[in-house]
Amino acid sequence: MFRNTYDSDNTVFSPQGRLHQVEYALEAVKQGSAAVGLRSKTHAILLALKRSTGELASYQQKMYRIDDHIGIAIAGLTSDARVLSNFMRQQAMAERMIYNRPIPANRLVSSIADKAQVNTQEYGRRPYGVGFLVIGFDKTGPHLYEFSPSGNSYEYFAMSIGARSQSAKTYLEKNFESFADCSLEELITHGLHALRETLQQDKELSIKNTSIGILGPGGAHETGITAQGNFRILEDDKIDVYLQSMVPKEVEAPTVTVPPPAAGDDDVQMGDN
Amino acid sequence: MAQTRSFNPYTENGGTILAISGQDFSVIAGDTRQSEGYSIQTRYAPKVFRLTDRAVLAVNGFAADGNMFVKKVKQRLEWYKHAHSKDMPLKAIARLIQTMLYAKRFFPYYVYNILGGIEEDGTGAVYSFDPVGSYEREACRAAGAAQSLVQPFLDNQIYFKNQVAAPGTTHPAHLPLPDVLSIVIDSFTSATERHIEVGDGLEVYIVLAKGRDLQDFEAIRARNVHLTQELTVTEDGERIFVMRLDLKKD
């Protein structure tokens, strides 16, 4: 009932203690197509589903390289993503110029989180309408972070954002304990399976609509990767070998729905013993 | 008696750089001595830097400006890579360097730049610049303290100036890699003999075009295995090697 009166001003709390503008910004992220991130002991990877407006159109870019050791996948307003990724690139380059070292990934994620927070507390400004999955490499190994327009950031073993990302999360939750010791190829296969869960009924992953971002030493199907494993984005034909590694989706048997027990019905349900 | 105080923002750090291009390669070299007046600041301060897999920049003059300029060029190349997902072509880097230098026309980088590498068409190239951005593509160029000793030698040996070819023959348009390397090394050992600001060490960058047969280079590398290092990662693109040699320390 109160939502409408408290939701147009960024600087006004609702009686429930919520900032509706920020929550609407999170909705924009949920509208973007899915992105999945996961990591092992040696690698961190991002997988994203690219959207296109139609058969004739190109597919929207979902991944950006920030520095040799940091890459991001986006979900939400692409224009906001460009601006924020540009800022991240400036920060990364400034760190190299001023301190002669690659920027620690958690510090970079904190800097955009702080930047995004400003837009949730200043009158007249709107929150950023994009969320990121950020993968980074430092002395302690690979890392994965989520950045959201609320200004929150958090580190994860595996995560997904965007449309129908809950289905991907379910797959990741089931399997994440095995990720740590996966090879790069196994990790990518897991990521593709997770991403596939977010697809609508008649769609499938293809070389056209899938992007893979990788941090870590070169895999079996890669050539010319540096020893530190600089961030690279794989698209088009390069993806095919990984798509082939997926387990084919099972053809769904027609579902037999068991009618739920009627409320207040004390009959004993006869089931399998 | 009036006291005049002044601050001079520039100083000369000595040293010499040299670049020579071939048909499908480019060699860019610089000594490693950094001096100020009669003092040696350090025996090892690199003046030659890899920008991309096909471009190498040598900077000479005022070392602080030289080092900072290289960092700024590298940053611009990084922005280009972000925007275009590929390395900047050599002639574009040359033009970029001109605009960056001229932008400080009224407080210049006191640096003589020589850019060497492989063009988009696979040919070896050398571009030389003055401190405010005037530039030109050439076959060879020496800059720095011993420029007046080395450049005339190059004019004679590379451009064959004041030389007449044997009857019935013409001078070659390009020299082979082993010949070019000998000329480079001899230039520096000779400059070291007669110029106090040149010596200590020599770094030679060799940039080879994509798909170029490496036999002649491998023969040179075999004689200098511990002194040679590869900077490129893949075998299917341009290759960059660095050779580090000693020069006399007096």
Residue A251 has pLDDT above 70, yes or no: no
Q: Which long-range contacts (CB under 8 A, 24 or more apart) does B81-85 make?
A: B81/A65, B82/A64, B82/A65, B82/A89
Q: Quick one: tokens of B198?
A: 């040149």
Chain mean position to CA A253: 31
Q: Name which of B78, B233, B236 is nearest A93 (Cβ-Cβ).
A: B78
All residues at 6 or more sequence positions from B188 whose CB lies less than 8 Å from its CB, including other chains: B16, B18, B29, B31, B198, B202, B247
Residue type, B14: G
Instruction: Assign A254 a pLDDT band (cuts: 50, 70, 90).
Output: very low
Chain B partners within 8 Å of A234 (Cβ): none
Residue A67 has pLDDT above 60, yes or no: yes
Is the Cβ pair A226, B236 closer than 8 Å?
A: no
For B153-163, the pLDDT digits (tens) are: 999 999 999 99
Nearest to B58 by CA among B178, B207, B161, B175: B207
For B21-33, the pLDDT digits (tens) are: 999 999 999 999 9
Q: Whole-angstrom Cα distance, residue B116 to residue A85?
A: 32
Cβ neighbours around A73 below 10 Å, total: 29
Exposure string (b/e) for A139-170, b if CB count within 10 Å is 16 or more? eeebbbbbbbbbbebeebbbbbbbbbbebbbe
Task: Judge contact between B155 and B126, C-beta under 8 A.
Answer: no
| Residue B218 parent element (H or E) | helix B215-223
Domains assigned to chain B:
16-246 (3.60.20.10)
R_g (Cα) of chain B, nearest Å: 18
> pLDDT value at position A263?
54
> pLDDT value at position A261?
54
Residue type, B118: I
Q: Say yes or no: A97 contacts chain B, CB-CB below 8 A.
A: yes
Instruction: Assign A2 a pLDDT band (cuts: 50, 70, 90).
Output: low
Task: Judge contact between A14 and A180, C-beta under 8 A.
Answer: no
Low-confidence ranges of chain B (pLDDT < 70): none
R_g (Cα) of chain A, nearest Å: 21
- pLDDT, average across residues A95-108: 96
Chain mean position to CA A80: 16
Q: Name which of B71, B82, B236 is nearest A97 (Cβ-Cβ).
A: B71
Instruction: Assign A269 a pLDDT band (cuts: 50, 70, 90).
Output: low
Task: Judge contact between B33 and B200, C-beta under 8 A.
Answer: yes
| Residue A186 parent element (H or E) | helix A184-196
Nearest 5°: CA angle at A133, between A132 and A134?
Answer: 105
Indicate the range of A16-30, A248-262, B83-97, B174-188 predicted with least confidence. A248-262
Instruction: Tell me how far CA of residue B83 lies from CA of A183, B94, B141, in angstroms.
Output: 31, 19, 32
- Provide the terminal-to-terminal Cα distance of chain B, rounded to the nearest Å: 43
What is the rounded average pLDDT for all residues in chain A? Answer: 91
H-type alpha helices, B19-89: 63-84
ipTM value, please give it. 0.85
Is the Cβ pair A97, B79 closer than 8 Å?
A: no
Residue type, A22: V
Nearest residue of B to residue A100 by CA position? Answer: B71
Q: Say yes or no: A238 contacts chain B, CB-CB below 8 A.
A: no
β-bridge mates for residue B127, sequence order: B115, B137
Is the Cβ pair A224, B236 closer than 8 Å?
A: yes
- pLDDT, average across residues A106-120: 96
DSSP state string for B231-248: ----SSS-EEEEEEEE--
Instruction: Assign A8 a pLDDT band (cuts: 50, 70, 90).
Output: confident
- The pTM (predicted TM-score) of the whole model is 0.88
Residues 5 through 34 of chain A touching chain B, CB cutoff 8 Å: none
Q: Name which of A65, A223, A225 is nearest B82 (Cβ-Cβ).
A: A65
Q: Say yes or no: A271 contacts chain B, CB-CB below 8 A.
A: no
From its phi and psi, is residue A218 left (phi > 0), alpha (psi between -120 and 50) or beta? beta
- pLDDT, average across residues A212-235: 93
Q: Name which of B75, B233, B236 is nearest A226 (Cβ-Cβ).
A: B233
DSSP state of B92: H
Q: Please, how many CA atoms are within 13 Å of residue B49, restricted to the half-sphere of its CB?
A: 17
Structure-token match 């999170």, residue found:
A26
- pLDDT, average across residues A126-154: 96
Q: Say yes or no: A98 contacts chain B, CB-CB below 8 A.
A: no
Structure-token match 């040359």, residue found:
B94
Q: Whole-angstrom Cα distance, residue B118 to residue B88?
A: 11
